[in-house]
Chains A and B, each alone.
Chain A
Amino acid sequence: MSSNVITVPVGQTQAKPWVDELHQWLTTVDHKRLGILYIVSALLFLAVGGVEALIIRIQLMHSHNNFVSPQIFNQMFTMHGTTMIFFVAMPVLFGFANYLVPLMIGARDMAFPRLNAFSFWLSFFGGLLLYFSFFGGSGLYGAGSAPDVGWWSYAPLGARAFSPGHSSDYWTLALLVSGFGSIGTAINIIATILCLRCPGMKINRMPLLVWMNLVMAGMVLLAITPLSAAQIMLLIDRYLGGHFFDTQAGGSAVLWMHFFWIFGHPEVYVLIIPCFAFMSEIIPVFSRKPIFGYPVMVAATVCIAFVSMSVWAHHMFTIGMNSYANSFFTLTTMAVGVPTGIKIFNWIGTMWGGRIQFKTPMLFSIGFLFQFLIAGLTGIMMAASPFDWQLSLSYFVVAHFHYVIVGGILFALFAAFYYWYPKMTGRMLSERLGKWHFWLFLIGFHMTFDVMHVPGILGMPRRIYTYEPGRGWDTLNLIISIGAFIQAIAILVFVASLIISYFKGARAGNDPWDAWTLEWSISSPPPAYNFATVPTVASRRPLWDLKHPEDPDSRYE
């Protein structure tokens, strides 16, 4: 497709001084650069959140350990959770959405480029604000203190009396600010997808990644906003003397839980649906078959979005709701497993009979399928409220949701990194380092999170900073911690691979995977204007049509 690239006159391509380059990155409104900024900032926060996880694991390595104080331990798990959800997972997924959605629908940019830049800087500075609490948490005159009331900040812990100083305010404001950023991005994604599709890109021809990001953005609008509203209420309580969550004045601590989880549970699907999107693009390409059951995939996604809005109180079975509420949320939670199961069958159906190529993105995708399935199964276990009464707030829960977030979301993200890195940089990631990364991470992951289910069943509560010897938890915790360090080594391999490949990787060319969506029709990295001529699409796999004019997909749709 070299005819599709505008030749730049000599003289304009010379290297610019680094100050200019930096200035361009800071002031950019280009969706590709903002996408990369999102991803890079998320990787930075991933490193920070990862170090916090390691500190937690060192502390729990054996009983009566004194590596950190209880106060620091509380700060570590609070910051780890908050960072990983709000400043790693959300931004990195928004980054990929920003980068890929316009390219996949043949658009020049997002619908509102400046809103896009504004949203990115909001979420980035939200993260900085959160971490500034380490210096300014008790006010600038004293030593800082990070928020230490858990990532859900249950009332009354978040109230002024129990969380003096400003640490909780940093938490509230950081989430409020980055929440507005998320809303901006979601509006942008929806407007882009609905208004900027290229000719022929009918809504039922959009790549599944675009479809699922559309659903994700819709969910962000309905899920993040309750959190923002609850944060505003918490601020009113803390600064204006309000009584929303003040039980002594008749307020309700349970209401905070409801508001938090009305955000909190859909949030899981906000994070996992873009990962489904990656899977739906990567698995077909490496199975050399079109996706199995496209309309069903779309329907299942929309179905998940609806059902997931009505499952939130399964996080609250132990607070004493009446039996009708318990039954309702048990049923809805089990129901959400149905469309998710449909998806897993569709991915397996796509692989079935295909010529599977075990490249690194595909390895991570297969890991995702297995681990996400297991995560779903433990989820179904805990959806049964009597079972949940037994295991709530134990390490079983921690193992379950890390299975979703690490085994599911992070594996899908790694697959996406290996798959789209060539498009973003023009260089391939090393397959050899990729295999090292995959196997090390897989072994570390299973060592940590498979084993973690067991102390949970044995009764080890979450969020304790140490424990008595002789309960049968010691060896298990040691294995968990060793696994965490193996994962950390795997991440180092990954980062090294990202950096080395950027300078020394093999040239990717336009289309290294022989893929079918529009982003692979232009050069890698894409030019600022994306498409020199607006593409026209006649089927769900436009590049297949282009490569196989004798047997185009459009004949069958």
Chain B
Amino acid sequence: MAGLIIAESAIFTIFVVAYLFYLGKSITGPTPAEVLETPIFYTICLLSSSLTIHLAAKSLERDYTRLFLGLWLLTIALGGLFLYGTAQEWHRLIYEHGLTISTNLFGTTYYSLVGLHAFHVTAGLIMLSVVAIFAFIGRMGVRQSDRVAVLSMYWHFVDAVWVVVFTVVYVLGR
């Protein structure tokens, strides 16, 4: 998983570089400063889900399966909430501001970078849900805690990437 994370980091790096390189190079509007709003609430959701998945993995190690399931579902809910936030933002950008992927360079790089991250969140949510199903039918125990630890590593990675994307897109980029 560490290998995968290195590889994924390189992919994200390239997209971040492209985003920074094209900042302010758009020929037509809208610009980031005009349309972007900082999604503080949804960012808190995603970042706190890192905490819940960590606690969930710890509780599985100690074989508290009920607690594990609860925390795990909370993680999924927080991740889903974040994804809902992204969807809402995109909806607003497309319908209110007419910004799509082909509008200008900002649109191209913004949707690619944020979309790539949202894709990773979605993939993570699918994997988390599979684990949740196994937990519901009582197949999760101490023996699976190593695998859950690997999955939680991935989730931490997705969160860490969001910190970078957030900084680049919403802080530096405006």
Contact = CB atoms under 8 A, between A and B. Distances in A.
Contacts of A233: 15, 18, 112
Most buried by B among A226, A240, A242, A243: A243
A236 B22 contact: no
Contacts of A259: 14
A101 to B, nearest CB: 15
Contacts of B15: 229, 233
B7 A240 contact: no
A225 B14 contact: yes
B22 A250 contact: yes
A218 B102 CA distance: 36
Given A187-B4, A191-B3, A221-B6, A249 B104 contact: yes
B87 interface: no
A228 interface: yes
Contact of B18 (A183, A217, A228, A244): A244
Contacts of B108: 236-237, 242-244, 251
Interface string B85-125: 00000000000000001101100110010001000000000
B26 interface: yes
Contact of A249 (B8, B21, B105): B105
B21 A252 contact: yes
B14 A226 contact: yes
Interface string B1-41: 00110111011011100100110011100000000000000
Contact of A244 (B6, B27, B109): B109
Nearest to B116: A232
A175 B141 CA distance: 41
B123 to A, nearest CB: 14
Contacts of A84: none
Interface in B112-164: 112, 116
A57 to B, nearest CB: 37
Contacts of A218: 6
Contact of B11 (A187, A225, A241, A243): A225
Most buried by A among B7, B11, B101: B7
Contact of B26 (A236, A237, A250): A250
Given A228-B11, A250-B27, A243 B105 contact: yes
A252 B21 CA distance: 9
Contacts, number: 82
B9 to A, nearest CB: 8
A221 B3 contact: yes
B105 A255 contact: no
Contacts of B11: 225-226, 228-229
Interface in A239-262: 240-244, 249-252, 255, 259, 262
Given A230-B14, A244-B18, A249 B27 contact: yes
Contacts of B116: 232
Given A236-B101, A250-B27, A255-B21, A226 B10 contact: yes
B101 A225 contact: no
Nearest to B10: A225
A225 B10 CA distance: 6
A110 interface: no
Nearest to B6: A221
A344 interface: no
Nearest to A223: B10
Given A221-B7, A222-B6, A225-B10, A243 B102 contact: yes
Contacts of A262: 14
Given A221-B6, A236-B112, A250-B26, A242 B14 contact: no
A97 to B, nearest CB: 15
Contacts of B26: 249-250
Contacts of B112: 232-233, 236, 242, 244
Nearest to B101: A240
Nearest to B4: A187
A153 B8 CA distance: 24
A382 interface: no
A187 B27 contact: no
A521 B18 CA distance: 51
A225 B7 contact: yes
Given A242-B108, A244-B18, A251-B22, 7 more contacts: A226-B14, A236-B112, A242-B101, A243-B102, A250-B27, A255-B21, A262-B14
Interface of B: 3-4, 6-8, 10-11, 13-15, 18, 21-22, 25-27, 101-102, 104-105, 108-109, 112, 116
Q: Which 10 A-B pairs have the closest CB atoms?
A: A241-B102, A229-B14, A187-B3, A225-B10, A242-B108, A221-B7, A229-B11, A250-B25, A250-B27, A225-B11
